[in-house]
Homo-oligomer: A and B are copies of this chain.
Amino acid sequence: MAPVTELTVGQVAMRSGVAVSALHFYEARGLIRSHRTSGNQRRYGRDVLRRVAIIRVAQEVGISLAEIAAALQSLPEGRTPTREDWNLLSTAWRDSLDQKISQLKKLRDGLTDCIGCGCMSIDKCPLRNKGDKLSKQGAGARRLLVER
Contact = CB atoms under 8 A, between A and B. Distances in A.
A106 to B, nearest CB: 7
Of the four ranges (under 10, 10 to 19, 20 to 34, 35 or more), the interface on chain A belongs to 35 or more
A53 B144 contact: yes
Interface string A136-147: 000111111110
Interface of A: 13-18, 46-47, 49-50, 52-54, 56-58, 60-63, 80-83, 86-87, 89-90, 93-94, 97-98, 100-101, 103-108, 110-112, 114-115, 118, 120-122, 125, 127-128, 139-146
Given A54-B107, A60-B62, A86-B114, 17 more contacts: A13-B140, A16-B140, A17-B143, A49-B128, A53-B122, A56-B144, A56-B145, A57-B106, A57-B107, A57-B145, A60-B103, A61-B103, A81-B120, A86-B111, A90-B114, A98-B108, A101-B104
